[in-house]
Amino acid sequence: MSPLSWYQLVAALLLGIGLYGVVSRKTLIGMLIGVELMLNGAGLSMVAAAQLTPMDGVLGQLGTLFVMGLAAAEATLVLAIVLVVARRMGNARSDTVSELKG
Amino acid sequence: MNMELFARLAFGIYAVVILAGGALAVSSPSLIRAMVGLVTALFGVAGMYLLMDATLVAFMQILIYVGAVSVLIFFAIMLAHASPDGDEAAPASIWEYVRSGLVFVVPVGVVALTATVFPVDSMPLPKQIGPEALGEGLLGPYTLAFELISVVLLAAMAGAVLVAFERRKPR
């Protein structure tokens, strides 16, 4: 296997671990941690593909920087949503939010 | 040759750090310990960026993710009244473990199978791209994306303030 394949394998493992976290966690913050792991896997895969193949390296690195900016924006919004949910319902579990009436 | 061995060794160490941190991040019953695992995995990814000669991305990873995003998540844990003995301590049923395991196995299996069946040959050494080339890219062909991400960040910050704003109750 070439070095690129090894990097892609680690990125895929990060994606899988993040998906596992999103599905198995019961709190909103635990799910957010899983999403951050998935975004890191995507960034690692993009930089590996840009740096180890003849494609434009600037494009891959800038794409990863943009993913980091989007992750920061997403974490801010999730912080606000968690704050509102915790204030109204007492805790930030995903099953309390999914109840329609209660 | 010696340097190549060293690089392989560093890759292995970073991979172990990433996988151990990720496993702690998704399995620990305490959210604070899960965050420590996430920070460990983020440092491992930064090390892999350094190994691929993407220096600026590696330092941005530490600055933005470890410095800003994880502090934000710590604030979220603090403001959501996390219980000290762990929010995730409730036992899960067998079906939930099967579901989560399936979600882990299927994408990883597809990518691993693709990487082994259709091997892609890569360059022996990563490209050398300095920060000045990235800056020229930001101000040259990718100006629109650069400006749009600032608009997205502004909208996200304003939206967060609007959502979390506590209206004063009329007396």
What residues form DSSP beta bridges with A93? A27
Nearest to A1 among B64, B115, B156 (CB): B115
Provide the mean pLDDT of chain A. 88
Q: How many Cβ atoms from other residues are within 10 Å of residue B159's Cβ?
A: 15
Note which residues in 61-90 of chain A have CB less than 8 A from chain B.
Answer: 61-62, 64-66, 68-87, 90
Please report the domains of chain A, with CATH numbers, ordered by start residue. 3-91 (1.10.287.3510)
Whether the per-residue pLDDT at B81 is higher than 90: the answer is no
**Residues B160 and A76 sit within 8 Å (Cβ to Cβ):** yes
The reported pLDDT for the residue numbered B85 is: 62
Per cent of chain B over pLDDT 70 is: 91
Residues of A in contact with B52 (CB under 8 A): 7, 47-48, 51-52
Whether the per-residue pLDDT at B87 is higher than 70: the answer is no
pTM: 0.89
- Rounded to whole angstroms, the Cα distance separating A91 from A66 reads 32
Q: What is the mean pLDDT of residues B135-164?
A: 91
Hey, what amino acid is at B168?
A: R
